[in-house]
Amino acid sequence: MKKILISHPISPKRLEELSSDFQVDCIQSIKTKYDEVLDRVQDYDAIHCIGLKADQRIMDKGHHLQIISNYGVGYDNIDVYYAKSKGIAVANTPISTSRATAEYTLGLILSLLRKITINDRQIRQGLLNDWSLSGQSGNSLSGKTLGIFGMGRIGKEVAHMAKVFGMKVIYYSRTQLDATADQLYGARYVSFDQLMSESDIVSIHAPMTAETYNIIDEQKLKLMKPTSWLINTARGGLVDHNALIQVLQEAKIKGAALDVFPDEPLVPEALLSMDQVILSPHNGTGTKEDRAAMFEESFGNIIAFFEGREMSGRVC
């Protein structure tokens, strides 16, 4: 019987439900999960990876390890190249995370442009004495150019939703979509520099890799309009946050909405006092429905792998 280790505590009832065809165990402590996984992994064929850094040490000790299935679409917490060299499959959850993250992205755009969060904060703090339209007016989404960096599943969902708000969509991605897809999403392919300079809103949806680390750097940020906004619901490491703080302080861009940060849960101190910035705790998939769907998809990848079926998101 194949043995699966879940790197996070789950309820005894759910654990029993999952153990009908496999031996399934889970880590009981969130704080010491890495050490516990490292101590136990040698006995398991699969790791269901929830908030765990699956590195070379874990893989070297996992003598029977055949698959690591990540609870999430991002997999920068897993050393994919080393896994591939050892013949260990890696999977993620592209289906269950796409619409949820796209919804959250549009929510951040609305909150930022329409000043929803800042107005709420000012009312609660007793700072909003002038309720006149001139004092609190934001910006409409209709007619704005949304630039999508990374046109995968999430980027496509964002493009689809943006059309409802009357936005124009341009995108840059490693691979250009075919003409039919461009027409379907109402999107136009442009160069990276064009994306940064032509967009009213730049929304990041690329994976975090060695090649994309700090890819939105000072040079790219300074291409943006002073009236533009940056949205990041992908990974914090895609953006050079020192450069971002500088362009925000110098009003080189109008604002930003950030759901992710380079050293989570730490947030750069300089961002905390900026009213033109919305801060969010990596919550793009943060609904009960979507988190449940993510669990089913990620655990389902392990079952599919052992049964010889296609996984929903095979990384390697």
Catalytic (active-site) positions: 235, 264, 282
Which token pair is 209? 């890799």
Question: DSSP for 251-276?
Answer: TSSSEEEES--TTTT---HHHHT-TT
User: Interhelix angle for 288-306 vs 94-113, to 10°?
Assistant: 160
Structure tokens at 254: 């109008």
Angle, CA of 178, 179 and 180, to the nearest 5°: 95
Tokens coding 26: 């889970």
- Report the DSSP beta bridge partners of residue 236: none
**Spatial distance between the Cα atoms of 158 and 113, rounded to a whole number of angstroms:** 16
Instruction: Assess contact for 276 and 121: CB atoms under 8 A.
Output: no
Q: What are phi and psi of 189, to 5 degrees?
A: -80, 135
- Whose tokens are 């001139």? That residue is 134
Tokens 């990276």 appear where? 192
What six digits make up the tokens of 116? 């929803």
Pull the structure tokens for residue 92.
């993620």
Contact 205, 171 (CB under 8 A): no
Q: At 201, list the tokens.
A: 């809103």
Burial of residue 148 (number of CB atoms within 10 Å: 0-12, 13-18, 19+): buried
